[in-house]
């Protein structure tokens, strides 16, 4: 069933479905009517020869240079060619699909003054899997994602490069092979296509959705570590959370209580401790803060994917063309930095739990979770890997949004660096996935040592799923394969999906 868009009701999950599953996209008729009305205004300004930024003038510092009607098409094409100055590795095809969808959705609001053909071409490229080669670097995130979006538009013109059904070729060849006619840009259309936050927002959507899966996985890993270390469940008591009622904290504690329901390991624990170290006792507070941060990020992205973000904007109902700054990426930039920090914190506390599992002085388990220490190193170096990833995430968590370098001869004298922030957040999420994979491996090994006592309802499900892929470590083997298998389980949401099926008590809460 196709996804019908109108510029108003797109969800983050819709973006993922189109980007990852190839769902067909169509534009609703009433959105087409708005687009036609907006375009009519642009053509009226051009016919009258009025001076309007982005329609009959140059761009940026050249906004005071008037462009004649005859030169208009050259202006639009020159804008795209000159702005296609990105560098670096190409963005993943899934991200490019998301970018094209978000650009269509923004134009569908009817404030951009483009022809229907522009949206139809982008939709056809999306539906027929023509994916422009968009370099990942080059956007400062203020006049929108100018450079990367220009690379997208090049292919619409039959220029640049694209992947068609997985093969890289010229944009001209990709469009011809897919049976899509290249476009010729008219007045306003070039700036409408590249003025926007769609690149940072697309990357940010992937980073957030990955993060929401990871914060759920972190609850599972932490609960399993609680069993491996015979933790004290009292710290998760509902009464404690109620008197400091942060939503994320409450939900994390609920999740852990459910995951550990009917845990014989914790019921039979006889360690003599009164309370645990912070990495166990403060799981609700730390994981909960990350959950609340992700909820904020989601709210920002949900607004942004249904926003008009180019300049100038056409208000047909009042007959106005107004220059503003909706292209500025600061809302996304700050949100992405928050996301990166929140995910880094989850990695920090997970790595410390790994250390406790491996350290016999803290765990009561065999050193490095191996029965034949000395001859075998067990999980020793997996903690090195986790530590390296945590350290890298700390570096990546330095905020990009506080930086600004003026561009366009100081016309654009404050920029957001939002696309950098989004790329960093996505990299942090990939690192966190591997950190949690290592914790899950170590925690599963710890639970094995508590046999014959059984784990809880939820942790038992997770332990079973892991053991279906990775056997108990009795003697040293190549660990990266084990880490990769569990990381795949995390990415595919296998454990989260199965545990959400629990019907006892409060269902495992994956929402933020």
**For the packed helices 418-448 and 457-469, what is the interaxial angle rounded to 10 degrees?**
90
The whole-number average pLDDT for the span 217-239 is: 98
Q: Is the pLDDT of residue 211 over 50?
A: yes
Collapsing DSSP to helix, strand or coil, 249 comes out as helix
Collapsing DSSP to helix, strand or coil, 90 comes out as strand
Class of domain 204-404+413-499: mainly alpha
Q: Is the pLDDT of residue 507 over 50?
A: no
| CATH architecture group of domain 3-196 | Orthogonal Bundle (1.10)
Nearest partner of 159 among 104, 230, 80, 90, judged by Cα: 80
CA distance linking residue 330 with residue 469, whole number of Å: 43
12 and 208 Cβ atoms separated by less than 8 Å: yes
Going from the C-alpha of 350 to that of each of 221, 317, 364, the distances in angstroms are 8, 54, 19
In 212-371, beta strands by DSSP E: 313-315, 320-322
Token pair 């945590």 is found at: 390
- The pair of structure tokens assigned to 483 is 């880490």
- The pair of structure tokens assigned to 48 is 């009258």
In 85-177, beta strands by DSSP E: 87-90, 130-132, 135-137, 161-164, 167-170
Q: Which of 53, 164, 384, 480 is catalytic?
A: 53
Q: Is the pLDDT of residue 144 over 80?
A: yes
Ranges for all domains in the chain classified under CATH 1.20.200.10: 204-404+413-499
The whole-number average pLDDT for the span 113-121 is: 97
**What are the beta bridge partners of residue 386?**
none
CA distance linking residue 20 with residue 14, whole number of Å: 10
CA distance linking residue 276 with residue 5, whole number of Å: 51
Q: Which residues contact 451 (CB under 8 A, 6 or more apart)?
A: none
Q: Is the pLDDT of residue 208 over 80?
A: yes
The whole-number average pLDDT for the span 450-469 is: 97
The whole-number average pLDDT for the span 485-506 is: 87
Cα end-to-end distance, the chain, whole Å: 28
- Supply the pLDDT for residue 58: 65
- Supply the pLDDT for residue 503: 60
CA distance linking residue 293 with residue 345, whole number of Å: 11
- Supply the pLDDT for residue 57: 72
The whole-number average pLDDT for the span 94-102 is: 98
- Supply the pLDDT for residue 74: 83
Per-residue pLDDT reduced to its tens digit, 42-92: 888 888 877 777 777 766 666 666 777 667 788 889 999 999 999 999 999
255 and 219 Cβ atoms separated by less than 8 Å: yes
DSSP labels for 184-220? ---TTHHHHHHSSSHHHHHHHHHHHHHHHHHHHHHHH
Per-residue pLDDT reduced to its tens digit, 329-364: 999 999 999 999 999 999 999 999 999 999 999 999
Query: Taking all residues of the chain, what is their mean pLDDT, rounded to a whole number?
Result: 94
Per-residue pLDDT reduced to its tens digit, 248-298: 999 999 999 999 999 999 999 988 899 999 999 999 999 999 999 999 999
493 and 209 Cβ atoms separated by less than 8 Å: no
CA distance linking residue 356 with residue 377, whole number of Å: 16
C-alpha angle with apex 446: 443 to 452, nearest 5 degrees? Answer: 125
Q: Is the pLDDT of residue 122 over 60?
A: yes
314 and 41 Cβ atoms separated by less than 8 Å: yes
Nearest partner of 45 among 309, 315, 307, judged by Cα: 315
Q: Is the pLDDT of residue 509 over 70?
A: no
CA distance linking residue 104 with residue 240, whole number of Å: 48
- Supply the pLDDT for residue 272: 84
200 and 332 Cβ atoms separated by less than 8 Å: yes
In 182-306, beta strands by DSSP E: none
428 and 340 Cβ atoms separated by less than 8 Å: yes
Token pair 């332990």 is found at: 463
- Supply the pLDDT for residue 325: 94
333 and 421 Cβ atoms separated by less than 8 Å: yes
Q: Is the pLDDT of residue 455 over 50?
A: yes
Report the relative pairing of strands 161-164 and 313-315 from DSSP bridges. Answer: unpaired
Q: Is the pLDDT of residue 510 over 60?
A: no
Q: Is the pLDDT of residue 511 over 60?
A: no
Per-residue pLDDT reduced to its tens digit, 385-420: 999 999 999 999 999 999 999 998 888 889 999 999
Question: Dihedrals φ, ψ of 4, to 5°?
Answer: -100, 125
Ranges for all domains in the chain classified under CATH 1.10.275.10: 3-196
Q: Is the pLDDT of residue 202 over 70?
A: yes
Rounded to a whole number of angstroms, the CA Rg of the chain reads: 26
Q: Is the pLDDT of residue 422 over 70?
A: yes
The whole-number average pLDDT for the span 217-227 is: 98
87: left (phi over 0), alpha (psi -120 to 50) or beta: beta
Global confidence as pTM: 0.95
**Is 53 annotated in the active site?**
yes
Per-residue pLDDT reduced to its tens digit, 27-54: 999 999 999 999 999 888 888 877 777 7
- Supply the pLDDT for residue 506: 42
Going from the C-alpha of 482 to that of each of 233, 287, 369, the distances in angstroms are 29, 25, 15
- Supply the pLDDT for residue 60: 63
The whole-number average pLDDT for the span 437-461 is: 97
- Supply the pLDDT for residue 505: 41
Question: Dihedrals φ, ψ of 25, to 5°?
Answer: -120, 135
């Amino acid at each position: 069933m196709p996804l019908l868009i109108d510029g108003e009701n797109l969800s983050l999950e819709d973006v993922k479905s189109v980007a990852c599953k190839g769902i067909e996209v169509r534009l609703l008729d009433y959105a087409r009517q708005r687009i036609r009305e907006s375009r009519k205004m642009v053509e009226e300004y051009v016919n009258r020869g009025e001076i309007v930024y982005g329609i009959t003038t140059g761009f940026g510092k050249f906004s005071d240079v008037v462009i004649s009607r005859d030169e208009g098409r050259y202006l639009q094409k020159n804008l795209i060619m000159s702005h296609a100055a990105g560098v670096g590795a190409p963005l993943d095809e899934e991200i490019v699909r998301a970018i094209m969808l978000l650009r269509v959705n923004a134009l569908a609001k009817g404030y951009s003054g483009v022809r229907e053909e522009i949206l139809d071409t982008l939709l056809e490229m999306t539906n027929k899997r023509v994916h422009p080669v968009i370099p990942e670097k080059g956007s400062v995130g203020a006049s929108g994602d100018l450079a990367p979006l220009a690379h997208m538009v090049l292919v619409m013109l039959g220029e640049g490069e694209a992947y068609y059904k997985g093969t890289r070729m010229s944009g001209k060849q990709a469009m011809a092979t897919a049976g899509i006619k290249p476009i010729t840009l008219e007045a306003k259309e070039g700036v409408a296509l590249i003025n926007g936050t769609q690149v940072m927002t697309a990357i940010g959507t992937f980073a957030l959705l990955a993060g929401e899966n990871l914060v759920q996985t972190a609850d599972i890993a932490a609960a399993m570590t609680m069993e491996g270390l015979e933790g004290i469940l009292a710290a998760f008591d509902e009464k404690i959370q109620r008197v400091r009622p942060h939503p994320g904290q409450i939900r994390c504690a609920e999740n852990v209580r459910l995951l550990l329901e009917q845990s014989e390991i914790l019921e039979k624990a006889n360690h003599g401790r009164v309370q645990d170290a912070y990495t166990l006792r403060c799981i609700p507070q730390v994981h909960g803060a990350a959950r609340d941060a992700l909820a904020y990020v989601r709210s920002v992205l949900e607004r942004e994917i249904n926003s008009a973000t180019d300049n100038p904007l056409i208000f047909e109902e009042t007959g106005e063309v107004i220059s503003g700054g909706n292209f500025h990426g600061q809302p996304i930039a700050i949100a992405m930095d928050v996301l990166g920090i929140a995910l880094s914190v989850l990695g920090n506390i997970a790595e410390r739990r790994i250390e406790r599992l491996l350290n016999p002085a803290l765990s009561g388990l065999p050193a490095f979770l191996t029965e034949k220490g000395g001859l075998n190193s067990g999980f020793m170096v997996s903690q090195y890997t986790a530590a390296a990833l945590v350290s890298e995430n700390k570096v990546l968590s330095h905020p990009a949004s506080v930086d600004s370098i003026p561009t366009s001869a100081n016309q654009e004298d404050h920029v957001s660096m939002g696309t950098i922030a989004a790329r960093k957040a996505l990299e942090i999420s990939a690192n966190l996935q591997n950190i949690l994979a290592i914790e899950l491996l170590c925690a599963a090994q710890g639970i094995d040592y508590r046999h014959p006592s059984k784990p809880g309802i939820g942790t038992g499900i997770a332990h079973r799923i892991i053991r279906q892929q990775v056997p108990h470590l009795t003697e040293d083997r190549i660990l990266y394969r084990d880490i990769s298998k569990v990381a795949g389980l995390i990415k595919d949401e296998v454990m989260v999906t199965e545990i959400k099926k629990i019907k006892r008590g409060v269902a495992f809460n994956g929402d933020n």
